[in-house]
Amino acid sequence: MESLQQHSTDQYVRSAPEIVELSISAWFYRNRTIAGFDNPARSLYVSIRELVENSLDACDEAHVLPDITVQLEMTRNGASDSRLSITSAPQVFRLTVRDNGTGIPRGAIPQLIGKMLSGTKFTLRQSRGTFGLGGSLALLYGQVTTQSPIVVTSSVPGEDAGVRVVIRLDIERNEPVILAEDAFPKDEGEHGTEISFELEGDWFRSKSKILEYFTQTAIIVPYASMRFTGPDGTRLDLDRVYRGLPRPPREVLPHPRGIDVETLKRMIATSRTKTLLSFMTRSFQRVGKTTALAFLRHAGLDPSLSPAALDDEALVNLMRALATYGGFTAPTADSLSPAGVEFLRAGLQRFNPEHCAVTQRAPSVYEGHPFIVETAVAYGGGLQPGIRLYRFANRIPLLYDEGSDVSTRVIRQLNLRNYGLRPEDPLAFVVHICSTRVPYKTVGKEYIADVDAVRREISLGLKWCLRRIGESVRRAHRAHRRRRRQNRLRQYYEFIASTLSDVLGRPVHADSLFASRGEGG
């Protein structure tokens, strides 16, 4: 019997599956479709978007007006090729994105460029990137589809020389491999970063989305100057129409609401406080001594107790008390940087609308995180008949999955006739949400989830804008009707004047008839 059991155990060991551990980069590569890299056309668009977002963030952090240059060239085996053919097979391109930000210090280039989930955006401060993998995943996608390295050129202010580094990604270890590097002389005021790499794509199917991305980015970032050159000679020059920078966001402490147990553990482990009272006042935003004491009494905790003395059960109870206590002040909006009414108005002038209304809602809260909704409605001018929706999140245009977005659902429920408007009128709706935790529905960051708090703010903002647009349109219609009535009266009086002139045999002017009837205005 013993030998039979041993035989069964040996057979199980031999048949047990091999355990494989994936690195972060290897996992994301195998699951890259969740971030939008699901086909060559969309991968090309997402790669451009992610690198442009990183460049815009770098310029915002440097407090300089962005100058972004994007060049997309078709290549053949690494050599430039001007011949273009529309085929079903993916093409190979070289993508080069250049900005005038602060540049990347030489020591930080390998980690920031060649290592996934490493970056400067994992803080409670608004930024375009959220997950720290978009740009890295674009570079990883380029390498696995072309096996070409990445070239990073960086110029840091105050340094005498720039640096050029050639990197390859070690996917299985999530580590960068430096293939070559060299320094080059630069001007004293020169600064910025250039990233160039090859990737597989489909220009013919992605062209419209890429051009639309730049056009919409120019609306939400009117202070940026962008230049794009496509492989077929397409050129897009978008000059800045507003000289000024929005208020930069400020990193803040977390709000008591929205904190989970693991976050509490990490905060306690890194905190140097010795009592729960000091832990509450120093670790969370907008929690003073009075509020902290009131909360600890509500949670049944001794203010003098050491945070390190809390076991797992006590931490769970603390988390639940933080989530349910109603005495906390709403989170501060200092961590946010909305586009701004003047910026949005300047961006919408690219449409040359007849009427435009823009509003910024007061800060609201979603799961302990503040958010601000900005809305705008433009009417007439260069707009085509019908409703057009422009969606933005943290100044990022959202071009895919419009039908699933909360903004689309809000617009469907609006009755335009209540505002003197019709669905066939030339209307453009703009919705911008900024937050440290935008409620994206997918990792690909393409549409906003239907959250009650967010839906309410969007609805109120759009209705405010529609009331202003409706008033302006009605005034314009009244003025138009008044002018049309005056024109008809003038034509009538001119006819009477001409008839009287023929009958009386002397000239009679219509202006005198207007004056006699008091209609001269």
pLDDT at 448 over 60: yes
Distance CA 371, CA 307 (A): 30
List of residues 6+ apart from 73 with CB closer than 8 A: 80, 93, 94, 96, 231
pLDDT value of position 142 = 86
pLDDT value of position 33 = 64
List of residues 6+ apart from 82 with CB closer than 8 A: 74
pLDDT value of position 159 = 86
Judge contact between 128 and 57, C-beta under 8 A: yes
Compute CA distances 375 → 366, 397, 402, whole Å: 18, 14, 16
pLDDT at 386 over 70: yes
Secondary structure, 3-state, 209-276: HHHHHHHHHHHHCCCCEEEEECCCCCEEEECCCCCCCCCCCCCCCCCCCCCCHHHHHHHHHHCCCCCH
Compute CA distances 430 → 216, 339, 373, 433, whole Å: 10, 12, 10, 10
pLDDT at 390 over 90: yes
Mean pLDDT of the chain: 83
Distance CA 214, CA 222 (A): 11
Q: Please tell me which residue, 414 or 505, carries the higher pLDDT value.
A: 414
Distance CA 383, CA 387 (A): 9
pLDDT value of position 81 = 47
* DSSP category for residue 288: -
Half-sphere exposure of 450 (CA within 13 A, CB side): 9
Mean pLDDT across 203-211: 93
Model confidence at 291, pLDDT cuts 50, 70, 90, reads very high
Judge contact between 165 and 178, C-beta under 8 A: yes
Query: Strand 369-379 and strand 364-366: pairing?
Result: antiparallel
Compute CA distances 480 → 483, 488, 503, whole Å: 5, 12, 35
Distance CA 486, CA 214 (A): 46
pTM of the model: 0.79
Mean pLDDT across 266-290: 90
Compute CA distances 231 → 98, 139, 150, 202, whole Å: 17, 19, 20, 11
The 10s digit of each residue's pLDDT in 29-75 is: 666 666 667 788 888 998 999 899 989 988 988 889 999 999 999 98
Model confidence at 215, pLDDT cuts 50, 70, 90, reads very high
**Nearest alpha carbon to residue 67 among 76, 77, 82, 55:** 55
pLDDT at 2 over 60: no
Half-sphere exposure of 313 (CA within 13 A, CB side): 0
Mean pLDDT across 444-467: 90
pLDDT value of position 107 = 86
Distance CA 403, CA 419 (A): 24
pLDDT at 191 over 60: yes
**Nearest alpha carbon to residue 392 among 212, 513, 257, 245:** 212
Distance CA 90, CA 73 (A): 14
Distance CA 395, CA 371 (A): 13
Mean pLDDT across 103-117: 80
Model confidence at 28, pLDDT cuts 50, 70, 90, reads low
pLDDT value of position 499 = 78
Mean pLDDT across 340-367: 90
Comparing 108-117, 213-222, 363-372, 446-455, the range with the smallest average pLDDT is 108-117
Model confidence at 78, pLDDT cuts 50, 70, 90, reads very low
Mean pLDDT across 218-228: 95
| The residue count for the chain | 521
pLDDT at 221 over 90: yes
Element (H, E) at 457: helix 452-504
Mean pLDDT across 154-175: 86
Distance CA 489, CA 494 (A): 8
pLDDT value of position 79 = 43
pLDDT value of position 23 = 63
pLDDT value of position 129 = 57
Q: What residues form DSSP beta bridges with 108? A: none
The 10s digit of each residue's pLDDT in 130-140 is: 445 557 778 88
pLDDT at 362 over 80: yes
Phi (first) and psi of residue 5, to 5 degrees = -65, -40
Q: What percent of the chain has pLDDT over 90?
A: 39
Is the C-alpha dihedral spanning 416, 421, 427, 431 positive or negative?
negative
Helix (H, G, I), strand (E, B) or coil at 448: strand
Element (H, E) at 59: helix 40-62
* DSSP category for residue 423: T
pLDDT value of position 6 = 57
Mean pLDDT across 221-243: 94
Structure tokens at 405: 């977005």
Model confidence at 323, pLDDT cuts 50, 70, 90, reads confident
**Nearest alpha carbon to residue 332 among 207, 413, 436, 424:** 436
Comparing 48-52, 172-176, 322-326, the range with the smallest average pLDDT is 172-176
Chain centroid to CA 79: 34
Q: Please tell me which residue, 335 or 357, carries the higher pLDDT value.
A: 357
pLDDT at 520 over 60: no
Comparing 54-68, 259-273, 392-406, 486-500, the range with the smallest average pLDDT is 486-500
Model confidence at 521, pLDDT cuts 50, 70, 90, reads very low
Tokens 């992610």 appear where? 50
**Nearest alpha carbon to residue 46 among 60, 56, 36, 54:** 36
